[in-house]
Amino acid sequence: MALTTGIEHLTPTPSKGQLFAGNYITDFSFANQFLPDVYEKQAEIYGNRSISSFLRLVSAEMPSASDEIRWVEQGRLHITYDNCTLNVATGVFTVTFDTLPDGTSAGTSQVPAVRVGQTIMVQEKDGTGPVLKGVVTVAGANASATTGTFTAHCYEAATWAKTGFTAATGVRVLVYGSEFAKGTNGMADSIESEYMSYTNKPIILKDNYAINGSDTAQIGWIEVTSENGASGYLWYLQSEHETRQRFEDYLEMSMVESVKKASTVHASFPANVTGTEGLFAALEARGNVFTDLSSDADLSDFDIILKQLDKNGAIEENMIYADRDLSLSIDDGLASKNSYGSGGTSYGVFNNSEDMALNLGFAGFRRGSYDFYKTDWKYLNDVATRGGFTDIEGVIIPAGTSTVYDQDLGKNIKRPFLHIRYRASETDDRKMKTWITGSVGGAYTSDKDEMRVNFLSERCLITQGANNFFLLKD
């Protein structure tokens, strides 16, 4: 008796590859009859998805045993008073404690820096009119919480109302020396060094990945290439691997983006959550902010940046981390000023030979006495991170160091202006902690049928010398 199957009568052949009318199926459900053809290698459609690398290149990491970091930055050696009011007849100068020409606060304690016998130069703030010289006859004193006064008389005229000097407000004053008559006493008073004290606090970052025990038994390998370039096969820990990568990105993003908690917040704001000062917040508060540099077609705005650098540390080498618009704008501006080739085209990496190759990208350039090294900042270009926001074009970071005393080494060492402090002691290192809990995968810490991989870090970013940095805003 023949077997009736409901489909065509099949006569198998003794070997594969021989197709006849009676040995293949025509009426069937594909999903039920055959296994799908599976690619074991994961398709990489986004390239390197990690954005962490910026702080690795421009900063250092070092331990800290405290939950607050304090540091002191030196003040200026010489002080220029800006926006003074001058009574040209009496020679009384009124100093307004607002800002110095470099944008930093003058501070009320600066008035005693003007003492009897010191010589000063005076000019209208807008740069018009002559530069006049005088000598101080009445020392500086605080007139109020926001102003101070001192008296000085002009060397070159009976009053300060010399020809061409007309402004009574908006006067700039600089102490440049002193002069005393024979047989007089020495300089009265002394000047205390000015300094600025800053603090920052580390924040605690946490993350985890969990998988239940049943899923760990369902083995399915997949071939991957990780963000750091390593390749191989992963089992169920593919998600754990990406959780770790994501957490490492969070470590950097937090150091760049974080802000301190304001004095007044919502009543339901989490207790004991204080925030920390990230790079952008530090530059907004203490650095230089330049707006819309990407619209600079002829690099003329860089001259403004150079003058501001002159007013501060004048650090020769600086790194520009730019988004795509700013990077292309700088390339276009440099190409327009290049005398080689047609229309200013540069063939620099090929000995400026048009026949060899064409290169329209620039890695670095020199303007005045400053060197700038430009690179794209993936964090600002990746639409899944900061690239989805449009308020930051980039940063300019000095390639400089500061000398500080290291308590662990017991000596002075040089540190980059940017460096990360993480909590650590002899018993616990919280730079990047990882541990497993649960009852699966070798951990026996609870009766829950899972393996949980925990991540923790406690850290903050120290931005020293922010007056040498530029935050480039859109």
Rounded Cα distance between 257 and 276, Å, is: 9
| Position 102 confidence tier, pLDDT thresholds 50, 70, 90 | very low
Residue-wise burial string across 127-136, b where 16 or more C-beta atoms lie within 10 A, e elsewhere:
eebeebebbb
pLDDT confidence of residue 141:
75
Rounded Cα distance between 388 and 384, Å, is: 6
- Residue bearing the bigger pLDDT, 143 or 271: 271
pLDDT score of 438 more than 90: yes
SS3 track for the chain: CCCCCCCCCCCCCCCCCCCCCCCCCCCCCHHHHCCCCCCCECCCCCCCCCCCCHHHHHEEEEEECCCCEEEEEECCCCCEEEEEEEECCCCEEEEECCECCCCCECCHHHHHHCCCCEEEEEEECCCCCCCEEEEEEEEEEECCCCEEEEEEEECCCCCCCCCCCCCCCCEEEEEEEECCCCCCCCCCCCCCCCEEEEEECCEEEEEEEEEEHHHHCCCCCEEEECCCCCEEEECCCHHHHHHHHHHHHHHHHHHHHCCECCCCCCCCCCCCCCECCCHHHHHHHHCEEEECHHHCCCCHHHHHHHHHHHHCCCCCEEEEEECHHHHHHHHHHHHHHCCCCHHHCCCHHHCCCCCCCCCCCCCEEEECCEEEEEEECHHHHCCCCHHHCCCEEEEEEECCEEEEEECCCCEEEEEECEEEEEEECCCCECCCEEEEEECCCCCCCCCCCEEEEEEEEEEEEEECCHHHCEEEEC
CA 248 from centroid of its chain's CA atoms: 17
pLDDT confidence of residue 211:
84
- Angle (CA) 31 36 42, round 5°: 140
Rounded Cα distance between 376 and 183, Å, is: 65
pLDDT score of 347 more than 60: no
Instruction: Identify the bridge partners of residue 178 per DSSP, sorted by sequence position.
Output: 118
Handedness of CA 29, 34, 35, 37 (dihedral sign): negative
Residue-wise burial string across 60-75, b where 16 or more C-beta atoms lie within 10 A, e elsewhere:
bebebeeeebeeeeee
pLDDT confidence of residue 280:
96
Highest mean pLDDT among 154-168, 234-248, 345-359: 154-168
| Position 283 confidence tier, pLDDT thresholds 50, 70, 90 | very high
Rounded Cα distance between 418 and 280, Å, is: 12
* Residue pair 278/257 in contact by the 8 Å Cβ criterion: yes
The pair of three-digit structure tokens given for residue 367, joined into one six-digit string? 């303007």
Ramachandran angles phi, psi of 228, nearest 5°? -90, 10
Ramachandran angles phi, psi of 198, nearest 5°? -130, 155
* Residue pair 58/397 in contact by the 8 Å Cβ criterion: yes
Rounded Cα distance between 470 and 128, Å, is: 29
| Position 5 confidence tier, pLDDT thresholds 50, 70, 90 | very low
Rounded Cα distance between 74 and 120, Å, is: 24
Ramachandran angles phi, psi of 104, nearest 5°? -90, 160
* Residue pair 423/470 in contact by the 8 Å Cβ criterion: no
What domains, with CATH codes, occur in the chain? 54-68+201-473 (no CATH), 76-182 (2.40.10.170)
pLDDT confidence of residue 95:
82
The stretch 38-59 carries a mean pLDDT of 71
SS3 track for 129-182: CCCEEEEEEEEEEECCCCEEEEEEEECCCCCCCCCCCCCCCCEEEEEEEECCCC
The stretch 77-97 carries a mean pLDDT of 83
| pTM, entire model | 0.77
Number of CB atoms found within 10 A of residue 99's CB: 12
pLDDT score of 396 more than 80: yes
The tens digit of pLDDT for each residue in 141-150 reads 776 667 788 9
| Position 399 confidence tier, pLDDT thresholds 50, 70, 90 | confident
AA identity, residue 249: D
| Position 103 confidence tier, pLDDT thresholds 50, 70, 90 | very low
The stretch 331-356 carries a mean pLDDT of 60
